[in-house]
Amino acid sequence: MKGNCDSEIDLEICSFPIIHTLGYLSVDGLDIYVTHGHLYNETNWQEKNKILIFGHYHIPFIKKIGETIYMNPGSISLPKEGNHPTYLIYEKKRFTIYDFSDNIVAEFAVNEDSNNKNNE
């Protein structure tokens, strides 16, 4: 996966192909896609009934738009827009973004829409 480097320098310095624009995980019956976010994000992703996790913006959020769930874990080292460092944890169909003080910034439980916090 591309990771957190916006430039293509990784391609230039590696002698083997390590970069894919999109990764796929099938976990607990969920279709989860992960990407850097500069190519695919909540403004141009066409898949429905899927989960897309990306980081490019360094701003933590979980949004449900239509039937698709978009997540940005924020950033541990370079948070933006006044956010604290954050990270995303997945456990048993629940996605939770935490800051370093263990405060919940956003969470989403698949199939438990009434219990979600900070979703749009």
17-64 confidence digits (pLDDT tens)? 656 778 899 999 999 999 888 888 999 888 888 999 998 889 999 999
Alpha carbons within 13 A on the beta-carbon side of 107: 19
pLDDT of residue 46: 81
CA distance 74 to 36: 12
Q: For residues 7-16, give the mean pLDDT.
A: 61
C-alpha triplet 54, 55, 58: angle, nearest 5°:
150
More confident residue, 2 or 76: 76
Domain boundaries, the chain: 9-115
pLDDT of residue 114: 37
Residue 16 has pLDDT above 70, yes or no: no
CATH of 9-115, one of 3.40.50.2300, 3.40.50.720, 3.40.47.10, 3.60.21.10: 3.60.21.10
